[in-house]
């Protein structure tokens, strides 16, 4: 159960890893944050107080807890030392299967036999990682969405050998720190969240490619239309609210006309080929200045905070 997890190691101190680590620390856990790159650890050390302040602003922790949480995070480049006493290890390294399998192999040898090994991968199957260990029953994917400390969802994706006890322990653990764990019962590429996101993105790209609407208007339609509903209700709840008969009729007309493209369209590939990767390069589907990029990040953060406060006011809890 939850009290089986006391000490945690997070492997990889990048965008996701440091956010995962700071949330664990904010809720009282001692965390070893490992990265082989000392420079990345230094950046994480600078970013951790910012993330803790955001949790404080959300009301999830108070100022005293935020100040104390940084002291619970030990940063280091020694992998063996990081996992030696851990009850839970969350791997958040780069999306490279060989790298992840090497890490899992090394962690399996160095970590206590009781430890659960989780990966934040959004790409690879749990069985691909479990095969590198001698504890496949204690291996799973714990897939977060960015920013990991602000979005409550964690997808717990089980492999064929993942035990019910491991899933039950992780579900109770995440609920204990205010997350919303959802179990993915069978291996599927992209799990659930990324499959749904990419289904929407494929149709959005097809709409722009066909000249039906611009990227700006597609975003406007999502943000000011059905996207607002999706912040408070899922697709099946929305279908029930509108009438399953109505949704079935609409789906019967639209499904044959929706994109079934097996690859992203050429215009999107050309954007990347030009070196335009979004906010980090100053241009993607839009042009970004440092000021407008910062404003978008702040708008997303403030929006997530507002949604979280609404959810708290409604008393939303994990669905059973």
Cα distance between residue 150 and residue 160, in whole Å: 30
Catalytic residue, chosen from 70, 194, 198, 259, is 194
Whether the CB-CB separation of 25 and 51 falls below 8 Å is answered with no
Cα distance between residue 160 and residue 167, in whole Å: 12
DSSP 287: B
Catalytic residue, chosen from 18, 23, 91, 122, is 122
The partner residues of 183 in beta bridges, in order of sequence, read 156
91 labelled catalytic: no
> For the stretch 140-172, what's the b/e string if a residue is b when 16 or more beta carbons lie within 10 angstroms of its beta carbon?
bbbbbbebbbbbbebbbbbbebbbeebbebbbe
Mode of pairing for the β-strands spanning 153-158 and 139-144: antiparallel
155 labelled catalytic: yes
Catalytic residue, chosen from 18, 34, 143, 149, is 143
Structure tokens at 311: 């959810």
Cα distance between residue 245 and residue 240, in whole Å: 9
Cα distance between residue 288 and residue 221, in whole Å: 21
Q: In what order do the strands lie in the sheet with 116-119?
A: 73-76, 30-34, 7-11, 88-91, 116-119, 139-144, 153-158, 180-184
270 labelled catalytic: no
237 labelled catalytic: no
Contacts of 309 (CB under 8 A, 6+ apart): 58, 59
Active site residues: 122, 143, 155, 194
């Amino acid at each position: 159960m939850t009290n089986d997890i006391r000490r945690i190691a997070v492997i990889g101190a990048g965008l996701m890893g440091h956010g995962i680590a700071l949330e664990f620390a904010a809720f009282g856990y001692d965390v070893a944050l490992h990265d082989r790159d000392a420079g990345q650890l230094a950046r994480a050390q600078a970013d951790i107080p910012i993330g803790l302040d955001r949790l404080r602003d959300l009301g999830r922790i108070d100022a005293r807890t935020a100040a104390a949480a940084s002291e619970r995070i030990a940063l280091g480049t020694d992998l063996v030392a990081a996992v030696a006493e851990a009850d839970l290890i969350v791997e958040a390294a780069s999306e490279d299967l060989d790298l992840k399998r090497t890490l899992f192999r090394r962690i399996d040898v160095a970590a206590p036999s009781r430890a659960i090994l989780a990966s934040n991968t959004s790409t690879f199957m749990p069985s691909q990682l479990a095969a590198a260990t001698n504890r496949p029953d204690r291996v799973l994917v714990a897939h977060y969405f960015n920013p990991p400390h602000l979005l409550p969802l964690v997808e717990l994706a089980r492999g064929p050998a993942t035990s019910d006890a491991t899933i039950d322990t992780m579900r109770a653990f995440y609920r204990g720190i205010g997350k919303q764990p959802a179990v993915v019962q069978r291996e599927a590429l992209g799990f659930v969240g990324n499959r749904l996101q990419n289904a929407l993105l494929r149709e959005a790209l097809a709409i722009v490619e066909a000249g039906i609407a611009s990227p700006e208007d597609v975003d406007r339609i999502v943000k000011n239309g059905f996207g607002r509903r999706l912040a408070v209700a899922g697709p099946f709840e929305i279908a029930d609210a509108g009438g399953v008969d109505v949704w079935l009729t609409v789906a019967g007309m639209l499904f044959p006309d929706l994109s079934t493209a097996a690859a992203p369209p050429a215009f999107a590939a050309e954007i990347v080929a030009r070196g335009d990767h979004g906010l980090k390069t100053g241009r993607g589907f839009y042009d970004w200045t440092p000021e407008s990029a910062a404003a978008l990040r702040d708008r997303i953060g403030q929006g997530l905070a507002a949604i979280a406060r609404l959810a708290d006011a409604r008393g939303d809890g994990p669905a059973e």
